Structures are given as C-alpha cells and as structure tokens.
Amino acid sequence: MLEDRKKLLDRNTLFNIRRNRKKLTAYEKAKNLYFLLSVFLSLLIVALFYFLSDFSNIYRITVTGNNHLDKSSVIASSGLSDRSKYLFTMPILVEKRVKENPLIEEAKVELLDHRVVQINIIEKKIVGYVLEAENIFLLTNKDEKISLDKENLALISKVPLIVGFAGEDLIRLEKNLDKCDQKMIDEISEIHNYPDLKYQNVELIMQDGNYIFTSVFGLDILDNYFDIRSSYLSDRKDCYYFEDISGNAYTSACPWEETKKEDEKKDQETVEEMESETSDQ
C-alpha cells in the first residue's frame, strides 16, 4: 500500500510539474504575443497620427525646364499639391499626368529630401501662333497645331503672331524657325508674308519696334540680330534686311517709304505735266 501511495504521489507530482510547465509556456507565448501586439498598435497609432498631420504632406514642389509655361500650370497638370502625401507620391504616375499637357515633350519627377518633389520638363518648341476662325492655335517646330486654352492664354504675349502663311509655306516657315534659338523667336512680335519684296518676302516685327525683311531661308541669321543691331547704332534705321545666300545684313529705307517716294514722284510728274499742258495752251 505504501508503495502504491508513493507511486501515486510521484505521478501527481509529475503531472503538476508538466501542467505548470505548460502554463508557463502558454504564459510566455501570450506575453510575447501581447508585446508584439502592443508594438504593432503603437506603430499603427504613430503612423496614423503622422499621416493625418501636415508632416506627411509634400513641403514644396519645384519645376525646372519651363520656358513658356507657368510653374503653376505644370504643377496643376501633375495633380500634386501641398496636401498630397509625400510617401504616397509615385513619380512614374506623376510623369504620365504631366506629359498629358500637349505643350510638354518630356517630364521627369524626383523625390528629394525634406519632402520636396522636383518636376523637370522639356517643353515643345513654340515658333508662333495663328488665328483661325476666332480660334488661337500654337505652332510647334514639329508641324503641330495646338489649340490654346484659357489657362495658357498668356502665351500669346511671348511668341510671335504669324499672318499670311498656309499649307507648305507655313510648314517651311516652321522648319526654318526651328533653326533659330527659342529666345530669339520670343523677341519677334509678328511675322507677316510680304509679297511686295520678291526675295525678302518675310517681314518680322521685333519686340523693340524694328523691322526685318528676309526669306524663309535667311531666318537663321536672326540669332545674330542683337550684334547686327548694335553695329548700326550710330546710323540706326527702322528696317533691316537679311540676305539668305550671303548671310549679310544691312539697313535701308523701309519698303513703304520707297513706295511713298515713288508715289510722291509720280504725283510730282503728273503736276508738272499738267502745268506744262496749261502753259502750252
């Protein structure tokens, strides 16, 4: 009997030990789980407060490469604002939105430090604009006609108005203007077809008020305009003439002044003839 009791006690003791070990193991597991849950919840709360605060928003959006387009219009086309979340900004999607602007050739978006987003763009080269049935169309160097919307209406003050060119003549004009620097194109106020001059039938009215007459093949001389103008400061004329073959430039009386002189000469000859006839009588 005594031995049976000992065996029973040993069995109970062993059972209690095993049960206590299981409880201890379960407690350790639960403690680790609770710890991980508390860490997770803490991180979740911190992340929630972060994303709900202004510290997660874009601090500044910069635009580079723009010439004619305002920074505000480029930012508007990107879909970003100072309320956009910096970490949720996906450059490839922003680039796609920016390139939907018909005046933008290429776009690259970079996420910089301190929550700064930089948008780098390459604009299409605008050589001028035309008026068609009260509509305004911008012309690019790639023979594109882009309808001008109200948001970009200010562009017409930066590029020349083109008048009197159509079809192949307009395409030829665009291609030759492409040889000029964009900054020089922007110095032109208006471009007119001037058929009264056979070999210099393109009239350029410059922003400074001067006139240039050349052919479509002499437009590349335009890049030297400021140097040419400065060389004639001592004897400045209103009209400059560019020769496409020789590349020379000179000043002379404006075509309408020559026409006026010819008309005055004809009027004078008519008066003299009338006076001669009167005296003969």
User: For 88-124, what is each residue's pLDDT tens digit?
Assistant: 999 999 999 999 999 999 999 999 999 999 999 999 9
Greater confidence, 41 or 244? 244
Q: At what angle do helices 91-98 and 71-78 cross, to 10 degrees?
A: 120
The residues, ordered by sequence, that sit 6+ positions from 85 with a Cβ below 8 Å of its Cβ are: 51, 56, 57, 58
8 Å CB contact between 237 and 253: yes
User: For 199-231, what is each residue's pLDDT tens digit?
Assistant: 899 999 999 899 999 999 999 999 999 999 888
Distance CA 79, CA 74 (A): 9
Distance CA 72, CA 95 (A): 16
Distance CA 193, CA 201 (A): 6
* Amino acid present at 198: K
Greater confidence, 255 or 2? 255
User: For 129-184, what is each residue's pLDDT tens digit?
Assistant: 999 988 999 999 888 999 988 777 888 999 999 999 999 999 999 999 999 999 99
pTM of the shown model: 0.74
Instruction: Report the percent of the chain where pLDDT is more than 70.
Output: 75
Residue 128's SS3 state is: strand
Q: What is the pLDDT of residue 259?
A: 65
Give bridge partners of residue 119 from the DSSP assignment: 63, 109
Domains and CATH numbers, the chain: 55-123 (3.10.20.310), 169-258 (no CATH)
Specify the residue for token string 């690019």: 140
Q: Six-digit token pair at 116?
A: 């700064």
Helices of type H across 53-66: none
Q: What is the pLDDT of residue 41?
A: 74
Q: What is the pLDDT of residue 32?
A: 72
